[in-house]
Chain A
Amino acid sequence: MKDFWKRFSQNRGAVVGLVILLLVVVLSIVAPFIYTKSPWAMVQRPFIPPFTMDAFVLGTDPMGRDLAAGLAHGARVSLLVGLVSTVVSLLIGIPIGAIAGYFGGWVDDLLMRFTEFFQSVPSFALAVVLVAIFQPSIYSIVISIAVVSWPPVARLLRGEVMSLRSREFVEAAVLSGQTHSTIIWRQILPNTLSPIIVLASMMVAAAILIESSLSFLGLGDRNIMSWGYIIGAGRTVIRQAWWVSFFPGLAILLTVLALNLVGEGLNDALNPRLARKGR
């Protein structure tokens, strides 16, 4: 663990990313306590510029809603959507990749053709279609993001499992009479953990971006204040009130950047040999 931390902290960008990420997490946790009112509440006159009123540091949007409250509550939505949809896509991608890689042959062919079917459609376009079909809601958004982001997981897992499959410790397990599921669970999957963690951190970032894009296009959940929604709603008044789109945009940029930096740091820390080769 100490080693891991040492290697992680060697990547200075990763540490910065981690700090930003922690700030966002803290913000999303304390948001309901600082901003007790609903972020939808129209609290002041519209179009108050940022840094002019102490009570509304970031100003108000075209409806007189507090932009800072919207950002704080939006952090929760963005993180939640990112995490949940990533978990769901791991739950789809890992079994498919593991089974395909472990059994090989026609099972592999079948599962990989199925995966390629999803990969051949541009993922954002597919997400838009899915959300439009199932009516925009936070559930349909999470599911659509998961549905479009599991194929890389499956492909990565398949490759890892295939290379582990021929190792001696796996063959020993086969000889000792362990069942296939035990071998996959106990012997193989634990060894694939590090690339999955790295991939997952990038996927959270991608999921936040997809959710923001969907909300920007008006395909978000109408009852949830997310960063993408604020930008989408603020876009129409960008010439009168730049701050409405600017601050949530900055928030998305920083969060996604932080997640990518952390992902890279994790990669360094978890795959020390790979990392050194890279330098």
Chain B
Amino acid sequence: MRRLISASLALFMTTTAAFAQAVPGGKLNLIVQPEPPSIMIGTTTNGPALLVGGNIYESLLRYDENLKPEPSLAKSWTVSDDGLTYTFALQDGVKWHDGKPMTSADVLFSANDYLMKMQPRHRNLMTHVESVTAPDDKTVVFKLKEPFEAFIRGLAFYTMPVLPKHIYEGTDYATNPANDKPIGTGPFKFDEWKRGSYIHLVKNPDYYVKGKPYLDELYYQVIPDGASRSVAFETGNIDVVPGGSVENFDIPRLKDLPNTCTTEKGWEYFAPLSWLWLNNRKPPMDNVKFRQAVMYALDREFAKDVLWNGYGKVATGPLSSKLPFYKDVEPQYPHDVDKAKGLLKEIGYDGKPLKLLPLPYGETWQRWAEAVKQNLEEVGIPIEIEAADVAGWNQRTSNWEYDIAFTYLYQNGDPAIGVDRNYKTSQIAKGNPFNNVEGYSNPELDKLFDEAAVAYPASKRQELYDQAQKKLQEDVPVAWLLELGFPTIYNCKVQDIVTTASGLPESMRDAWIKK
């Protein structure tokens, strides 16, 4: 027996018909900051590359704001009852930008060959996969080794982009000349890249979703100076300022301009969460009561309101509230100076000064470090702020040479992909600033996380993750700060600017300009 989870293409077309007032035509100017080294997202996966490349390349699925899968290159899919076999039916009439038809062979090539060589993240996902096969031109079947439920959320355009086999097969992927003139299946085609100035994309007239995209042209403008980026938006030369591309302190001014809209949506998949690494190997951070005291000492509401202009949300624990399996469980740590002082007194903390390493990402983070220092000193923990550039920060955190350090990481759609890496014992390894840097180790929690990753169906996973969240919130291996909010600021004439969980990169196919 098979269970159909997706809507058919017909249904898909009717839902888009709800936006029937959309009018075609027009061009948009967006900011891309910083200028990416390449927009071939099979090899380059940083934010700016994805922002542009997401219009050119697509994957099998896309995700709505609740991370529910929606059709992209796959028009429908089924999952077997044991959670081991995923069968995808591809869209009809999909063509590469050079006119060749897109088939299941391209999906196979991307999943089995290209991405295995080029992307560590894809290799990680594929450790759960036994085989990828194509019974015919329009069907792709993934057979899993174990029921890894997170798999369905691992098929986004930047985790598994479908790449053209006829261009890349048998070539050196990194140096293929097509990397400079990307060929994809997406709603927009590459036209021109004037280095240091702009990247120009044009409408793909053969796009397989009839009537889309609405826009004729996209210009991704490169403006290296932060103040100039703000001014470019103020003067109307830029229509869309993607989240994170102007300094935080410019946001209140920009969003108060006439005819200006903002949205915090479009970050549900990444779900950036910030926290303080507390080096669990060193006293006093090895004491759970000390770590709890740190949590009570932090005034996170202040940080959200003053430093982040009210955007974002105070984190309740290890999972962002945008993530599936998130639950607001006890214990929670509201700002409570007396409780923090009490805990410190209880453990007889000696008042030894600790070092705080800020994130070297500009003014906001520097100010935040000053606020945290103030919060901690208020309860009697003397703090010295250290100075480090990006390389120094990477080196210090990945080699565990710190007391307390700022960070923020993407949670990538599922706790088994983007959360447990920070808490499992098996993830303690020097040289990587994104794994279990704090050195927390708890066999009970390891077991919970391991079971939760392969439990099936989702309701079973939920129970296990509830327990894991509670356990972590009791132990406070790191001090969770905020779910960061990176608002997209745009001219209100632009409609439907964010329609998926990954935001701007995927949404331009739906965006249109109100006349």
Chain A contacts to B: CB under 8 angstroms: 38, 40-42, 46, 62-64, 135-137, 218, 222-223, 233, 236-237, 239-240
Contacts and interface: CB of A to CB of B under 8 A. Distances in A.
Given A64-B306, A135-B386, 10 more contacts: A62-B249, A63-B367, A63-B370, A136-B387, A222-B358, A222-B366, A222-B370, A223-B373, A233-B363, A233-B367
A63 B371 contact: yes
Smallest CB-CB A-B distances: 5 pairs: A222-B385, A136-B387, A236-B249, A236-B363, A40-B374
A236 B247 contact: yes
A128 to B, nearest CB: 13
A223 B307 CA distance: 19
Contacts of B81: none
B313 to A, nearest CB: 20
A7 to B, nearest CB: 47
Nearest to A40: B374
Interface of B: 247, 249, 252-253, 302, 306-307, 358, 363, 366-367, 369-371, 373-374, 377-378, 384-387
A6 B249 CA distance: 53
B371 A42 contact: yes
A42 B369 contact: no
A136 B358 CA distance: 14
A46 B367 CA distance: 13
Q: Per DSSP, are chain A's interface residues mostly helix, strand or loop, or mixed?
A: loop
Contacts, number: 46
Contacts of A42: 302, 371, 374
Contacts of B370: 40, 63, 222
A19 B247 CA distance: 42
Nearest to A135: B387
Contacts of B387: 135-137, 222
Contacts of B366: 218, 222, 233
A275 to B, nearest CB: 45
Contact of B374 (A38, A62, A222): A38
A205 to B, nearest CB: 26
Contacts of A222: 358, 366, 369-370, 385-387
A73 to B, nearest CB: 14
Given A222-B369, A240-B253, A41 B374 contact: yes
Given A40-B373, A222-B369, A63 B384 contact: no
A40 B385 CA distance: 12
Nearest to A42: B374
Nearest to B368: A63
A136 B384 CA distance: 12
19 contacts: A38-B377, A40-B370, A40-B377, A42-B302, A62-B306, A62-B367, A63-B367, A64-B306, A135-B387, A222-B358, A222-B366, A222-B386, A223-B373, A223-B384, A233-B367, A236-B363, A237-B249, A240-B252, A240-B253
A178 B385 CA distance: 53
A16 B370 CA distance: 37
A242 to B, nearest CB: 14
Contacts of B307: 63
A40 B377 CA distance: 10
A62 B377 CA distance: 20
A38 B378 CA distance: 10
Contacts of A236: 247, 249, 363
A239 B371 contact: no
A239 B231 CA distance: 13
Contacts of B306: 46, 62-64
Nearest to B226: A236
Nearest to B370: A40
A40 B378 CA distance: 11
